[in-house]
Amino acid sequence: MLTVSDGVAAGTREDASGEAVAALLAEHGYEVVERAHCADGQEPVAAALRRLAAGFAGLVVTTGGTGFGPRDLTPEATVAVIERSAPGLAEAMRAASPLGPLSRGVAGTVGTCLVLNTPGSPAGAVESLRAVLEVLPHALALLAGEHHPHPPA
């Protein structure tokens, strides 16, 4: 999990969205193996994502940097790192909230790692993640190479 925030990186702001996302993931049986933070901007986010995704089979959730602020470049950094996009996940996360259309977050894969961008507000991050929680186990299993038959029609 990666919190993107100049304030959190500088130690002047509490990581409320990271706490909320980590709690939601734990509540749904996910083990949060690392919580990291970095400053806003394309290069810091891309470097952090590359490090977190390297050789990792699982889920990396980012929070922050998806809006319209001049340093909100998490989507651009994510696009530079991912190998395949998962637009359906990003669309579902945006559809979960009345403010969702203001999020520019993306989703995609790096090897066997799934990356999801969520907004920086705790409520927005949780709403976004809740919108896709049900399909994440199947997505992660497919990324891990597990074969699951399609359900009957």
pLDDT tens per residue, range 40-81: 999 999 999 999 999 999 999 999 999 999 999 999 999 999
In 28-141, where do the E strands start and end?
36-38, 58-63, 84-85, 107-110, 113-118
- Spatial separation of the C-alpha atoms in residues 106 and 103, rounded to whole Å: 9
> What pLDDT score does 147 carry?
76
Q: Domain residues of the chain, as ranges?
A: 1-7+14-29+55-82+93-98+109-141
Each residue's pLDDT, cut to its tens digit, for the chain (153 residues) gives: 999 999 999 999 999 999 999 999 999 999 999 999 999 999 999 999 999 999 999 999 999 999 999 999 999 999 999 999 999 999 999 999 999 999 999 999 999 999 999 999 999 999 999 999 999 999 999 999 987 666 666
Check if CATH label 3.40.50.300 holds for domain 1-7+14-29+55-82+93-98+109-141.
Answer: no
CB neighbours (10 Å) of residue 11? Answer: 8
Strands 2-4 vs 58-63: parallel, antiparallel or unpaired: parallel
Could you give phi then psi for residue 92, rounded to 5 degrees? -65, -40
